[in-house]
Structure 1
Amino acid sequence: MPRAVAPRARRAPSAVPARPAPPAPARRRQAPRLLRWGISLLVWGMVAGFAALLWFAWDLPRPEEALGATRRPSITLTAADGSLLATSGDLYGETLRLADLPAHVPAAFIAIEDRRFRDHGGLDLVGVARALVANVTAGRVVQGGSTLTQQLAKNLFLTPERSLRRKVQEALLALWLEYRFSKDELLTIYLNRVYLGAGTFGVDAAARLYFGVSARRLTAGQAAVIAGLPKAPSRLNPRVNPSAAVARATEVLEAMAETGALSPAAAMQEAERLRFPPAPSRDAGWFADWVRDAIGDRAPRHADLLLRTTLDARLQAAVEARIDALLAGPGRAAGVAQGAVVALDAQTGAVRAMAGGRDYRSSPFNRATQARRQPGSAFKPFVFLAAIEAGARPEDMVADGPITLGGWSPGNGAWRPRGEITLEDAFAQSVNTAAVRLLQRAGGPRPVAAVAQRLGLPGPFPREASLALGTTEVTLLDLVAAYAAFGNGGHRVTPHGVAEALAEGRAIPWAAPPRAQAMAPEAAEAMRRMMAATVARGTGRAAAVPGLAVAGKTGTTQDNRDAWFVGIAGGLVMGVWLGNDDATPMDGVAGGGLPARLFREILETARAR
């Protein structure tokens, strides 16, 4: 049988030969290599990220510790009527909860600083993008992207440094804060700790400083002013730039209207009602410095201190107004560049007004408490008191003619000797030769110096007869305090400036220094009688105030370098000094001239207010 033959396969047409597929073992070797590279990149990426995180966070403060960080205790001084006088340290007000505040207070901050506060987790990417677009469009920085939580992190924990590292640290802390606290807790911390200019932290401190009210009583317009401050606390400070503060507050009110916190009409009304109370006295800084310097160890070191002082705001304003007017007018014409005034209560020594110069801002040196000058004839009351205590009386006679002691012959100026005059006339006309004779009658310089020390003048005193003409040196404050005994029946007082003290809201002991009997009431009455004669018919006539009993004494030093008047009126003792810091002579200015006139003008201005 024939063998069957299989059909031959038909050959395919000629074509480009296909690339042979790699062998299966090669594909299996490539997959692990790619996996290893991927794992390596991931690991090294994680290492690099961890290293970067360490670099950003290696000096990051511990949030738990920073929340309780210490600060400078604040000292707040108020005038006797409760009006704000001065602050120092880090000024915090009362710590308030959200429930304690009007709803428009937190609403103002949220509207202008972080409208998405309730929605983000500490970092607002939408806000950052919006700020970026706004800044690129404007060609400058017009909007920020920081959240309230980031601002809180910066204020609590970080420095104002501008760098990528600090921004990353701010973001990390913001995330921690969001994890640690609720939104209401964050807002409460922010409102109590945010810096709002002039040393104030928190809305209550700012409300008290700028508007004189608790944050509980802030109007929507006032809240808008305060909410506008974080952008630029110094530039937008209402005390420094009220017009800029109003403009910024208007922006905040418009933002509140956009968020629905206020109606547009209400926002406009609040903007129109904005008013700022007058700032504290510009020149009471000398008094504030004097009070702070006297605190010493009397107050707790780490507690906020509130001191209600003895300062009479009305009298202080009168002092400032009149001394400035006098130095700018007749004082300038007579070559007088500086002056000082102190007024205190004759019965207690409480200081009611103090000006240590013409302008505290240009010269904080206190000429009322720090400058020691010769008082001239303003020292004579102590000479006459020594004579009174030695047995003399105002109606007794004393020679007023020339006298020579050891080659020294004091002059009498324009006074023409009459032979003998009463002590009262000698005092009223400030007769030098009579004063020297009375010093001798009292026992010499030593007993006179003892009288002056007993009334509060510290000395040292020259041990020669020239002491009768005021050749010792005194401060204006010491001299005025010593005169108080002539007006209160003979009691020595110690000048002081604090009436009440509170530490962290609790009263602390701060008793006024006690009085001490320094002379017999009869001697004080005799001195008051002679001082009244000085104003009625003597060298101090320019100090007379119609309808007010005034007593006092003038004083002028050689070549008119210093001119003084110290007077007693209505339970007040007030002293005036005029002169120049370099002791150059004035043009004919004597104690009975411009100083006595300034005394009168201050009293008249204070009575008219």
Structure 2
Amino acid sequence: MTDRPTPPEPTGPHRDWLDLGPARERAPAAQGAPRPGIGARLGGGLRAAATRASARLGPAAARLGPTAAAAGRTAAGVGRTAAAAVGRLAGHPAARRAAAGAAAAWRPVARLAARVPWLRAACVSVAVLAALCLGYGVYALASLPVNGGLSIEPTASALVVRAQDGQAFATRGVIKGAKLAPKDVPPVLAQAIVAIEDRRFYEHHGVDLRGLARAAFRNAAAGGTREGGSTLTQQLVRMSYLSQDRTLKRKVQEAVLSLWLESQLPKDEILTRYLNTAYFGAGVYGADAAAQRYFGKAAKDLTLAEAAMLAGLVRAPSQLAPHRNLDGARGRAAQVLDAMVETGAIARADGEAAKRAPATVRVPTETPVGTNYFVDTVADTVRGLIGAGPADATVRTTLDLTLQNIAESVVARRLDQEGERRRIAQGALVALAPDGAILAMVGGRDYAESQFNRVTQARRQPGSLFKLFVYLAALKAGYRPDSAMVDRPTQVGEWEPENYGGRYRGAVTVRSAFAHSINTVAVQLAESVGIPAVIETARGLGIQSDLPNLPSLALGSAETTLLELTRAYAAVAAGAETVEPYGVRQILSRDQPLYTRPPAAPAPARDAAARAGMLDLLSAVVREGTGKNARVSVPSGGKTGTTQDSRDAWFIGFTSDLVVGVWLGNDDNAPMDGVTGGDLPAQIWRDFVTQAIAARAKSAKAERTAPQPQPRPEAAAAVEPAEPRPARPSLRGVPAVIDTGTLDFDGRPVKLVGVDGLGGHNARELGRYLRRRDVACAPAGEGGTYRCTLDGQDLSELILFNGGGRAAGDATPDLLAAEEQARSNRIGIWRR
């Protein structure tokens, strides 16, 4: 018994498509068999053509490199295998009997043709045409491409970024997902793909002649290409081996390879490989990757509505990708559901239910612009912790989306109002929790224009901010806040520092000198304790930048970053020896933890008395000194900083649970127009902290008023039942628009949650958008507001995302994020 030749082992990105297992055994040849007929000779001819093609392709592929050479051997192997299959089919007894019957039927025609010249000419023409078709088929088979199929660029593994509350808000890289096995393919996804792409998939053998005829008829009736006739097997062959060119040669190659593939693999395996290869938009290939990208789940967990949406994407993934065109994707999913009903895959009631509750994108595929600076920082941290692993990962971060939106809005508003007039091009803000967790980060005015992070990468002179280390070193050396100093002209060698404004106050206390940022006293203290002691104090609080041993260091002549300075102030505010800023709490890969930050509180400071004195000085800055513009409703402290010619302006301050640093300046180090740390930076700090306090108070109240677990029946019996309040009804229908935050359902006004509505043009645009469209509204909390949905989407979010209104005081983090996205994209009311 002899084995059929097995295709050579392929290499490269598509080797698994040809890994078909051991070849099937052939039946032994009969002794004394008659000479092979024309079918067997055709098979032999095809094998010879394939061998010659292999001989031609082999050297050419060798010149293209190892991978191309392997692909050439693969293509030649496919050709030889296909030719062998044709030969075996032709040599089958039934085929020989059919050939003998055809020959017998042909003999009378041949005798007639010998007597009738025109019939003889017609037979010769048919024979020549058949020979040409056969020759073209052999040519198409012999010229299979050595490097065909999809070419997928290597990409970094995907990183899904979640905020501190678990909400996914950003992704980086391309989600790769897992290769599905036939048993892992959910039935609803398989049924959806077959229903919309190839209804006769389980009936044809690779090429569907009936489907081709139907597509040709419909395209002719439509006057253009409206429907394709390719089967799923043909699409898989095209994606795996061939180019996307619309040529006759490619079609012939596609048909031959499809017939061969169907003879080697079961239908379920072909369908699975198709799902693992297909492109679903947003840079993802394969059904599992698409399920994770759009819905945040594995393919095996897809619902009917989600499976229908994915099945609808393969025809036009770039146009219908739901993160960009959710309405289009839902419309296509509805067509898929209708097709599934027509084919009997699902009941009509199930299809209608899936239409009423369409799939919603749950994992963002594009990072909100303002959070990119933070995501860059987190991505670098993840690479440092786990390396560039091959698997997709999810990172749980410290970012508070509410505070992030507040920070972006505050910085943008102040720069929009004052930036051009006062020659300020850039600003940065970072907010830390007392333990160093990064709660918000604004690395610049516009990430789209500049990805340079001015929180972590910009090294600037801190000016008077650096006096923190001078005064703390002095307090460690025995000075007290009430110690007497003299503000007078001071000279160190040839250097003679001056105060801001050029005047001297005479006798002052250490507290007053720090509060009013007197330069001469800072230099005197630095000379008293020694610059090395100042450097040691700065190092202990986390300053890692280069600090030269020069007298001018006392006034902040060294360059450092906003994050380094803010962590130093955080350590003083928390009474900790040092505080380490961090943005990553946990890293997971397929629900398996790769890294978890250990819970550890910062170690208490060893110099408690000096730290207490330093807090006294920092509070005096806000209470009576240069930082009065930063006063808020809770106890606070901080320090201003301004460099020569107003090239940099800083304010770093703290409350009991927040440490916030602000910087303003220009990337080219150009001077601003008289901006000091106690001016705009202190005002930005105050605006941010005031809103952050309100947001946190509201969040804490919501947690306190959250529904509690129901008491046990025996305990509930002893509780006096409260008088029930009438429940507000849910509403549904086609509303009128009062303003972009208020709808009218037959005389009943409905206030949308989280939206301060606008009238005029914006209201008219919303009215046109909602015309004859069904809106469903449900009560949302005790404020009398409603949360309304349109085609499964939150209407408040749609309005804010398109710049049709402003976020109200009851806006949730997702609504604030939608408003910020509109502002970043400069659309609607944010257009400028």
The equivalences for 1:494-513 within 5 A come to: 494-509=580-595, 511=597
Alignment equivalent of 2:373, drawn from 286, 293, 299: 286
Give the Å deviation of 1:387.
1.3
- In the alignment, does 2:131 pair up with 1:131? no
Aligned equivalents of 1:324 and 1:74: distance in 2?
30
Cα deviation, 1:219-245, whole Å, max 9, x if unaligned, reads 544443333322333332232333443
Q: Select the structure of larger CA radius of gyration.
A: 1
Query: 1:383 maps to which residue?
Result: 470
CA contact (8 A) 1:197 1:233 kept: yes
Aligned partners of 1:333 and 1:432: how far apart in 2?
29
Q: How does 1:171-250 map to 2 (within 5 A)?
A: 171-215=255-299, 218-250=302-334
**In structure 1, what residue type is equivalent to 2:231?**
T
| Corresponding residue for residue 480 of structure 1 | 566
Question: How far apart, in 1, do the equivalents of 2:135 and 2:405 lie?
Answer: 69
Counterpart secondary structure, 1:110? helix
CA 1:127 to 1:43, structure 2 compared with 1: closer, same or farther past 3 Å? closer
Alignment length (residue pairs): 573
> 2:575 touches 2:605 (CA, 8 Å); kept in 1?
no
Report SS of the residue matched to 1:554: strand
- Unaligned residue ranges in structure 2 (runs of 5+): 1-113, 115-122, 696-811, 813-832
Q: Does 2:485 correspond to 1:398?
A: yes
The RMSD of aligned alpha carbons is 3.9
1:53, CA displacement in angstroms? 0.8
Residue equivalent to 1:335:
423
1:435 aligns with 522
Scaled by the length of structure 1, what TM-score is found? 0.81
Matched residues in 1 for 2:245 and 2:468: separation?
A: 63
Structure-2 separation of matches of 1:156 and 1:80: 42
- 8 Å CA contact 2:422–2:673 kept in 1: the answer is yes
Matched residue SS, 2:610: helix
Of residues 557, 568, 572 in structure 1, which corresponds to 2:658?
Answer: 572
Structure 2 partner of 1:16:
none
1:235-291 CA distances to partner (integer Å, 9 max, x unpaired)?
322323334434434444444454455667765665565455584533222222222
Task: Name the residue aligned to 2:204.
Answer: 120
- Indicate the larger mover: 164-173 or 78-87: 164-173
3-state SS of paired residue (1:425): helix
- Shift, 1:381, TM fit: 0.8
Say which SS state the counterpart of residue 410 (structure 1) adopts.
Answer: coil
Question: SS of the residue aligned with 2:571?
Answer: helix
1:577 partner SS:
strand
1:594 equivalent to 2:683? Answer no
AA at the equivalent of 2:323: R
Aligned residue identity for 2:469: F
CA distance in 2, matches of 1:44, 1:138: 32
Residues 41-440 of structure 1 aligned to structure 2 (within 5 Å): 49-56=137-144, 58-59=146-147, 72-93=156-177, 104-156=188-240, 170-215=254-299, 218-260=302-344, 270-271=354-355, 273-274=357-358, 276=361, 279=364, 280-294=367-381, 295-296=383-384, 298-299=386-387, 301-347=389-435, 349-414=436-501, 417-440=504-527
| Partners of 2:196 and 2:336 within 8 A in 1 | yes
Aligned residue identity for 2:451:
P
Q: d(CA) in 2 for partners of 1:38 and 1:265?
A: 55
Q: Decide whether aligned partners of structure 1 residues 212 and 304 sit closer, same or farther in structure 2, where only a CA change above 3 A counts.
A: closer
User: Distance between the aligned counterparts of 1:494 and 1:301, measured in 2?
Assistant: 25
Give, in whole Å, the separation in 2 of the partners of 1:226 and 1:36: 52
Q: With a CA cutoff of 8 Å and minimum separation of 6, indicate the structure with the bigger relative contact order.
A: 1
Q: Quote how far apart the aligned CAs of 1:388 are.
A: 1.6
Secondary structure at the aligned position of 2:387 is classed as coil
**Residue equivalent to 2:12:** none
Q: Give the C-alpha shift of residue 465 in structure 1.
A: 2.3
**Worse-superposed segment, 511-520 or 184-193:** 511-520
Offset at residue 583 of structure 1 (A): 2.4
2:50 maps to none
Shift in Å at residue 469 of structure 1? 1.8
Q: CA deviation at 1:511?
A: 4.3
Q: Is the 8 A contact 2:461 2:557 kept in 1?
A: yes
**Secondary structure, counterpart of 1:56 in structure 2:** coil
TM-score (norm 2): 0.61
User: For the Cα contact (< 8 Å) 1:375–1:474, is it kept in 2?
Assistant: yes
**In the TM superposition, what is the alpha-carbon distance from 1:467 to its structure 2 partner?**
1.6
Give the drift of 1:476: 1.6
String of CA shifts for 1:516-547, please: whole Å, max 9, x gaps.
7775233333222322222233222333332x
2:622 to 498, 522, 535: 535
Q: Does 1:459 align with 2:530?
A: no
Q: Quick one: distance in 2 between partners of 1:163 and 1:250?
A: 33
- CA contact under 8 A between 2:463 and 2:643: conserved in structure 1? yes
* Whole-angstrom CA distance in 2 between matches of 1:163 and 1:328: 56
Cα distance in 1 for partners of 2:333, 2:561 equals: 48
Question: Aligned partners of 1:330 and 1:440: how far apart in 2?
Answer: 39
Q: In structure 1, what is the Cα distance between the partners aligned to 2:350 and 2:125?
A: 65
Any idea what SS the aligned residue of 2:522 has? Answer: helix
CA distance, structure 2, for counterparts of residue 38 and residue 262 of structure 1: 49
Aligned mates of 2:168, 2:396 — CA distance in 1: 9
What does the per-residue CA deviation read over 1:135-182, in whole Å, with 9 as the maximum and x for residues that have no partner?
344444333333333333444556656655555555455445434443
Query: Does the 8 A contact of 1:57 with 1:169 survive in 2?
Result: no
Letter paired with 2:547: F
Partner letter of residue 577 of structure 2? H
**2-side partners of 1:316 and 1:173: how far apart?**
55
Give yes or no for contact 2:486–2:508 (8 Å, CA) kept in 1. yes
Is 1:549 the counterpart of 2:641? The answer is: no
Secondary structure of the 2:376 match is helix
Quote the Cα distance in structure 2 between the aligned partners of 1:462 and 1:240. 52
Distance in 2 between residues matched to 1:176 and 1:344, nearest whole Å: 63
Secondary structure at the aligned position of 1:92 is classed as: coil
* Match in the other structure for 1:558: 644
2:437–2:582 CA contact under 8 A, matched in 1: yes
In structure 2, the residue matched to 1:13 is: none
